[in-house]
Chains A and B, each alone.
Chain A
Amino acid sequence: MMIMVLIAVLYMTTASAQENIDESCYHCHPAQVNEFQASVHFNKNTCADCHGGDINISGTVVSINVMHTNFTGKPTPLNVTNFCSKCHESETLVYKESIHWQRLKEGRSAASCTDCHGIHNILSSKDTNSSTHFENIPGTCAKCHENQTRMQALYYGIQTDRFDTYKKSFHYKSYASGGRLLAVCSDCHENHNTRQASDPKSAVNPANLPATCGKTGCHTGANNVFITGGKIHEEQSVKLLSIDAKGLVTYFYIMMILFELSFTIGLIFLGITSKFEIRRRH
């Protein structure tokens, strides 16, 4: 008790109110406060800005004092937007147009602000360690969209091979082999305003694809191209005249290559053996 009072007095006299809050939370939540101090929000926000509670009461003594006013321990995905919208109003408004928010409102689980941006460790998207940094975006989206159990549990019909199929595209392969990363999920699907492809306002709706692909710096001049007759991620379902063209081509070439390999290597082998006199030729 003496030590506690001493610490409290010390903080009262030397530390500012903001640091005081951080320090008071630190005793029980060191990991979270450490993450928060490394984040872009440190020195702009306090713990109380998101978690509520009374900023004026020292939490050092009894934490219940902090928690008595409007305190939210672990915000739900739904009310996270309430905190973020205090400062990031326009982003939140755009996000609330997205399929993620629609699903959240329906009571299903979907990505909220913190699922992509992180919780205490939010960094600027320019920071290479940020989960929303250009190079980390595929991994951030894949966290949920590659997770089969999660996708199956939530929605019916969301495929989990999107990251794998993306990895086979030129957009990613350049990066994988040491070059530039050419386009990531959010470049086509939008970041806050993600919508399902059937939504006419979606950036990946077939009607909007020319504009999306034709963005400045990407495929300029694609604006008057009709991108039809197939889906970007669904090579396996390319239908030409209602035939599974990809399957057909693949089967054909599997046979061709197996035949060619055995034929070529077989002839080389026979050619070599025919040079030796295993049996007397007459």
Chain B
Amino acid sequence: MVEIKFRRFTLNQRIQHILFFVSFILLAYTGFPLKFPEEWWSRLMIESVGGFDNRTLIHHLSGLVMIGVSVYHVVFHILEKPRYDVLFNLKDLDDFKQQIKYYLRYSDEHPKFGRYSWKQKFEYFGAGFGAVIMGFTGLLMWQPFEAMKYFPIGFVQIANLFHTWEAVLASIAVFIGHFYDEHFDKFPNLSWLTGNIPEEELRHEHPLEYEEAMKNRVVPENIEHDKKDNILIVGFAKLIFTMIFAAICVWMLWISYNVLVEAIKTYIL
């Protein structure tokens, strides 16, 4: 059986994504233990990177990588080859309504997405704004005394606050939302690595893009190869991924619960 794959991401995009998510995971891995320094997992995680000073170093370096990727993305990627299909439009609102209707069984029509679904657009801009907030507040916290030459100390403390909250917000979006939608639900979704999306998946997930591509006959780089997905390997990989995903979900829920409870105790009660 021959499977046609469509090019979805360029090498440049894939490298950006890999740098972004590797730095994101390292930042979360070395950042959250600092929020809960006395928890057992926190000490375990800090030990695993070789002590507190290493933790700080890794966090700072990953932060620089993330800032670098974000700046690169904005300056070179968008300015050189702007894409407008990632911007929100009215169709996204209709798609969202339609999706809820479909979920609640008021309709049998699943919304037809273009290149990016409304959820993917949310994730894209969420990651963008998140990187801006985390980058600026992180730099303020990294060099508080440099920052205090220009801002009052209150800014550094507010930066600290933003940094924690935004980290929780972003991690829920990525570790629960993005992982479920893009990697668990579509497992094994390897388009982040190979850049290709199978024809069947494109038709199912992004029907409008598929129709457009077929109509205009601008099918870029149709790659054909034999379908050799070993069901055992895929099943085993999915099992491993599910376990890691579940553990990360529990961890994220624990963190958000504790952060919320602490804030509610301090500010509302």
Contacts and interface: CB of A to CB of B under 8 A. Distances in A.
Contacts of A213: 145
Contact of A178 (B52, B185, B260): B52
A231 to B, nearest CB: 8
Contact of A260 (B42, B100, B169): B169
A214 B145 CA distance: 9
28 contacts: A173-B34, A173-B37, A176-B37, A176-B38, A177-B34, A179-B51, A179-B53, A221-B145, A224-B149, A226-B149, A227-B148, A229-B151, A229-B152, A238-B157, A239-B154, A245-B154, A246-B161, A247-B267, A249-B158, A253-B165, A254-B263, A254-B268, A260-B173, A264-B180, A267-B103, A271-B185, A274-B105, A281-B105
A139 B56 CA distance: 26
Contact of B152 (A219, A228, A279): A228
A270 B266 CA distance: 34
Given A177-B37, A219-B144, A257-B169, 6 more contacts: A177-B33, A177-B34, A230-B157, A238-B154, A246-B157, A264-B172
A87 interface: no
Given A250-B161, A257-B165, A232 B153 contact: yes
B51 to A, nearest CB: 6
Given A254-B264, A260-B172, A178 B46 contact: yes
A214 B37 CA distance: 26
Contact of B108 (A245, A261, A282): A282
Interface in A151-188: 170, 173-174, 176-180
A236 B158 contact: no
B104 A270 contact: yes
Contact of B162 (A230, A249, A265): A249
Interface of A: 170, 173-174, 176-180, 213-214, 219, 221-222, 224-232, 235-236, 238-240, 245-247, 249-251, 253-254, 256-258, 260-261, 264-265, 267-268, 270-271, 273-274, 278-279, 281-282
Interface of B: 33-34, 37-38, 42-43, 46-47, 51-53, 100, 102-105, 108, 119, 144-145, 148-149, 151-155, 157-158, 160-162, 165-166, 168-169, 172-173, 176-177, 180, 185, 253, 256, 259-260, 263-264, 266-268
A228 B37 contact: no
Given A177-B42, A250-B161, A227 B154 contact: no
Given A236-B266, A270-B103, A281-B108, A229 B154 contact: yes
Given A173-B37, A230-B157, A247-B267, A254 B260 contact: yes
